[in-house]
Amino acid sequence: MLISAPRVITADAGHQIFVPGYVVLAGGRVTGASPGPPPRVPDIALPSGTLLPGFVDLQVNGYYGENFQNANAEGWAKVVGRIPETGTTALLPTFITAPLSELGAALRTVSGFIPELTTGARVLGVHAEGPFISPTRKGAHNGAWITDPTPAAVDELIAAGQGVLRLVTLAPERDGAMAAIARLTDAGVMVSVGHSDATARQVAQAAGRGARMVTHLFNAQRPLHHREPGVVGQALTDPRLTSGLITDLRHVAPEACVLAFHAAPRRICSVTDAAASAGMPPGRYLLGGEPVEMPPGEGAPPVRADGTLAGSALRMDAGVANMVAAGIGLDEAVAAATRVPADLVGRPDLGRIAPGAAADLAWLGDDLRTRATWIGGELVYTRPGNGLRGMPAGADGGLD
């Protein structure tokens, strides 16, 4: 299948932008991408906008009224089936701090049905955000459930998450954290520094033990100070670390987002930190089994009863648009939502348009909102009225 577009962003090495360009797909993979007019009549000719890789979101608590941590198989299927509406084609469902036994039970439960989720966005594993975090930087997490990463606790989490646990956020200043980072890394679980009051030196030590990420940069962590750079300062200057950034412009001001992109080029990955309220009307929802309130207002994040921000209502395509509005180049904003997170979790077959990569694509309109999404070369979502030419019979309408 050949798809042409007024603009193609490959997000591959070199940040190539083709104006115009085309992509060739076969067997669920990209077989080629080139600038200029296509060599034959395209199967699908996109009349406007940009064709780019599908988004990869490494922090998603829930969406469409479902909280991953408590949802059953049907709830998971609902979210992964609908989230391509936002351009997202791969994600890490995220569990926040809970009693260790409950986290273990949840991990064991989802490991039984994740392999059966064969339609919709790719589930890359589970992100456990806690419980080994700082009570002074807990954000919306329940402080009563925070605990030290003892060898027994870490082994319990690894055993429960066998085959599905992909990422753990912890505070490296906690007792036993350095050994825990090494143990998790040896078990094939990536470690991210987050919800942490660590000094810059402690964050550097964590990177030395194997930590490779910082969770939601600027939020729930020791801030930058000119005499103690803290988590933020180390994250922005340490080439071993890539930082997640909630790009809703509510969690982090536009100027701080621009600072992060400029200070750490190719080491910022956009995340939504979306909660169950994302994609839903204002009202009460759950995050980590506890209530959050989704206030009225476009893009307003949910909050706990005390006003603490509790996840977001962000779409990945909106996050890219927000970064462009803040002053980040479109190609750089797209890479932060595609190739950078894909590479971080060891999936070089995702997040780029390049020969051999999975044919996971998103078409964004000139307003940078998702108009169509393909996963493995199959059209899984299209906005009604797109007017795509050459679309397989019956495909129009997608999941709307």
Q: Which residues form the catalytic set? A: 273
96/130 Cα distance (integer angstroms): 6
Q: How far apart are CA 88 and CA 362, in angstroms?
A: 8
- In the chain, the amino acid numbered 116 is E
Answer whether 362's CB lies under 8 Å from 380's CB. no
Cα separation, 249 vs 293, whole angstroms: 19
Q: Which two tokens stand for residue 7?
A: 């603009």
* 3-class SS of residue 324: helix
Beta strand 370-375 with 361-364 is antiparallel
The secondary element (H helix, E strand) that includes residue 76 is helix 73-82
Q: Taking the mean position of all CA atoms in its chain, how far away is CA 108? A: 22
> How would you write 333-349 as a 3-class SS string?
HHHHCCHHHHHHCCCCC
Are the C-beta atoms of residues 133 and 171 closer than 8 Å to each other?
Answer: yes
Q: Burial-class residue 244 by CB neighbours within 10 Å (0-12, 13-18, 19+).
A: buried
Alpha-carbon span 19 to 130, nearest angstrom? 44
Contact between 276 and 67 under an 8 Å Cβ cutoff? The reply is yes
Collapsed DSSP state (helix, strand, coil) of residue 5: strand
